[in-house]
Structure 1
Amino acid sequence: MLLICLGLAYGSHQLQQATGDGGDKVLNLYNWGDYIDPNLLTKFQKETGYHVNVETFDSNEAMYTKVKQGGTSYDLTIPSEYMVEKMRDDHLLIKLDHSKLTGFGNYGKDYLNKSFDPQNQYSLPYFWGTLGIIYNDQLIKKNSVTHWNQLWNPKYKDQIMLIDSARDIMGLSLISQGRSVNTTNSKELVAAKDKLDRLSPNVKAIVADEIKMYMAEGEAPLAVDWSGEAREMMDQNPHLHYVVPKEGSNMWFDNLVIPKTAKHFKAIYAFLNFMSQPQNAAQNAEYIGYSTPNTAAYKLLPTSIRNDKAFYPPESVIKHLQVYKNLSQAKVEEYNDLYLEFKMHK
């Protein structure tokens, strides 16, 4: 991973090593890769004078480990919902000072006061999304795949790509059996894994980011991936469509939090307030492709995006969505071990 100097890196999109933190007029942001519009970072820097250093991670667990080690003074990071809960419980987060948040009222009530952080004591919503099915209408009849169980149809032999994510793939199998994505019942977990084994003949590949390229290029007719990734694919190939299965799926939330390593608090609140401004949040949502929890920003998005029910589903769909909870380490390992067995079976 590289600590990058915004002024050097984002103009040319070339990552360069930063030397030091540049003094007090600095913000150290620990983020997922390509998860903020670089033009917004440039704008923030020009408006405030705070220099932004960005380091990236590729999983919640990698981020957690780095923050827990405490070797680097990160000011802000962006964990998913279950990881906010874990970091809070492990005393790795600093509470938000709501008196310093000028844009908190821009966020919709549906995205606040969630079970993983009641009253948003520690987190500010960043993006949300779902897990779903992507299909190519040149290879699959439109609207013919709307349920998880349809993926097991023998006619899709060697035609499905899966995102490489234990919690998500185990989760879709659990949902297809009417179970909770947060179950700790070992019999239910084994049954979910056994059902995944029966899906193996239909699985063409289990991959990570390259799934976007493969689907955009028509390498497979079906895939399971997250909504924002689906948006990127669809932008590249108009024959691709995204569906949230009717029986339910995962609804995830990524959130801005202040880790215990933070040092630059004026910069932190300047950034949180900057990203909460509707125009900036809308610009970021258009760039990233995921759904914004900032309802004031949502109103500024193009009609085509606002009316897209795949990415802003109606309440009839949302009520069937499940949010991941933080599980014990033993249960996380159980999920991971069963998922690995499925991958090896494939």
Structure 2
Amino acid sequence: MNPASIRVGLSWLKLSRGSGGALASWPELCLLGLLTMLWPASNGLAQPDQAEDRGSPDPVEEKAPPRELVFYNWTAYVDQDVVKAFERTYHARVMQRYFQSADERDETLMRNKGKGFDVLMVTAADLPPYIQHGWLQPLDKAAIPNLVHVDRRWIDGFEGADDYAAPYLWGTTGLVWRSDLIDEPLHRWRQYYAPQEAWKGHLMVLNQYRVAFGMALKTLGYSFNSTEPAEIEEAARLLRAQKPFVQNYGYFKTDANSGIVSGETWIGQTWNGDALLLMERNPAIRYRVPEEGGELMIDYLVIGAKAREPELANAFINWLHTPAHAAACAKSLRFATTNLTAKTLLPEDFLNNPVIYPPPEVLERSEVQKPLPAEIQRQMIGIWAQLIN
């Protein structure tokens, strides 16, 4: 059994208890116990006098050691030239720490009681419980004037976003496959959850129970964020029936060693930006948000409540939202930017790519992941732990 997938059960049960952070009841803990057993200027990056961050740092003594900013993020989810330019400008060092799944990040923050990080990457669904647990501090908006460039559609209506979070990049979660190995075009999630016999042993399922359940629920015509126990169980039956076809529950690398690039894996779930990077490595790779819809993902930059460098953290977020820098991140990572001014700096072929900027009908069919009640979390986690064993 994947230890991280079990640990997250305890993490999310605790998260779901609210600001008190009380652990689950003894029977719940027993159940979990059983489950456990079983750019520089030449690259187009804005320089201090070009950036729209009010006030660059004062000159620093050459002998003074650089300040350290700890950034907890997905692997390779920020343009490194943008980071290096920030380090030079602010005489700082960005210590990047990575998580391989949202579940791993949640477990780490639970274990560390939210300590150890200055800037973190989270989703809309993470904001309410993280705020309740006191893991985040409000943004200093006076220190982040570049927030004026951010599209309010990614702030309004998302609990906690206005005070605590700066939208970063957005995208979709859908199907990716090898068109030279799959003998039919993929249009619906049903083809993935009830695959052909010939596909056995060649499927990858994202090792995130919310995504796996969410897409199964969409397959059945239900909401990605269903809170009905009977619907959750129906989705579980789909997942159990799919299991014999699954090669692994994990993630696609985007390098030349990725299973879908080599042909070891034929079909799986991934994010649109990652899919585009994979498509550049193998022209037979395809990506689509199925007809039932998918997940509309949005990532946010937040500051830890126990951040050692809150001033530098606010400056870093402001730096990332300097339009030239935001455009660089979007372009290198193949995701849509939340920065409206940055969007005007992106090339037409990028803006017209329907994988990056999906048409309205795709967006209408897709849903943003929302927090779920504790009892639904428990139901999903229990099923998922048994499933991936």
Aligned match of 2:190: 149
CA offsets 1:140-166 (integer angstroms, 9 cap, x no match): 468x21111122243553143222221
The code of the aligned residue for 2:269 comes to V
Contact in 2 for aligned 1:116/1:325 (Cα 8 Å): no
Aligned match of 1:54: 96
Aligned match of 1:287: 332
Give me the whole-angstrom Cα distance separating, in 2, the residues matched to 1:313 and 1:63: 28
Q: 2:344 aligns with which of 299, 302, 307?
A: 299
Aligned match of 2:266: 221
Aligned match of 1:99: 142
Q: 1:201 to 1:289 in 2, by over 3 A?
A: same
Q: 1:327 aligns with which of 369, 372, 381?
A: 372
The code of the aligned residue for 1:39 comes to D
The answer on 1:205 being equivalent to 2:248 is yes
Give me the whole-angstrom Cα distance separating, in 1, the residues matched to 2:342 and 2:254: 29
Instruction: Give 3-state SS (helix, strand or coil) of 1:225's partner.
Output: strand
Aligned match of 2:216: 173
The answer on 1:76 being equivalent to 2:126 is no
Which deviates more, 254-263 or 53-62?
53-62
Contact in 1 for aligned 2:103/2:208 (Cα 8 Å): no
Give me the whole-angstrom Cα distance separating, in 1, the residues matched to 2:114 and 2:178: 46
Aligned match of 1:112: 155
Give me the whole-angstrom Cα distance separating, in 1, the residues matched to 2:371 and 2:198: 34
Give me the whole-angstrom Cα distance separating, in 2, the residues matched to 1:89 and 1:180: 25
Aligned match of 1:312: 357
TM-score normalised by length of structure 2? 0.75
Instruction: Give 3-state SS (helix, strand or coil) of 2:221's partner.
Output: coil
Identity of aligned residues (%): 24
CA offsets 1:225-250 (integer angstroms, 9 cap, x no match): 22222122112111211101122111
CA offsets 1:66-117 (integer angstroms, 9 cap, x no match): 4453585422111122112210122221111222221112222322224233
Aligned match of 2:47: none
Which deviates more, 152-161 or 75-84?
152-161
Give me the whole-angstrom Cα distance separating, in 2, the residues matched to 1:307 and 1:209: 25
Contact in 2 for aligned 1:156/1:202 (Cα 8 Å): no
Where structure 2 has 5 or more consecutive residues not aligned to the other structure, the ranges are 1-63
Contact in 2 for aligned 1:129/1:227 (Cα 8 Å): yes
How many Å apart are 1:133 and its aligned residue?
Answer: 0.8
Q: 1:71 to 1:243 in 2, by over 3 A?
A: closer
CA offsets 1:187-235 (integer angstroms, 9 cap, x no match): 1111101122233344343333458701111223322222222122112
Contact in 2 for aligned 1:93/1:257 (Cα 8 Å): yes
Instruction: Give 3-state SS (helix, strand or coil) of 2:368's partner.
Output: coil
The code of the aligned residue for 1:56 comes to Y
Aligned residues: 321
Query: What is the aligned-residue RMSD (CA, Å)?
Result: 2.4
Give me the whole-angstrom Cα distance separating, in 2, the residues matched to 1:25 and 1:206: 39
Aligned match of 1:19: none
Give me the whole-angstrom Cα distance separating, in 2, the residues matched to 1:24 and 1:220: 44
TM-score normalised by length of structure 1? 0.84
Give me the whole-angstrom Cα distance separating, in 1, the residues matched to 2:206 and 2:351: 26
> Is the radius of gyration larger for structure 1 or structure 2?
2
The answer on 1:245 being equivalent to 2:286 is no
The code of the aligned residue for 1:58 comes to Q
Contact in 1 for aligned 2:254/2:277 (Cα 8 Å): no
Where structure 1 has 5 or more consecutive residues not aligned to the other structure, the ranges are 1-21
Instruction: Give 3-state SS (helix, strand or coil) of 2:204's partner.
Output: strand
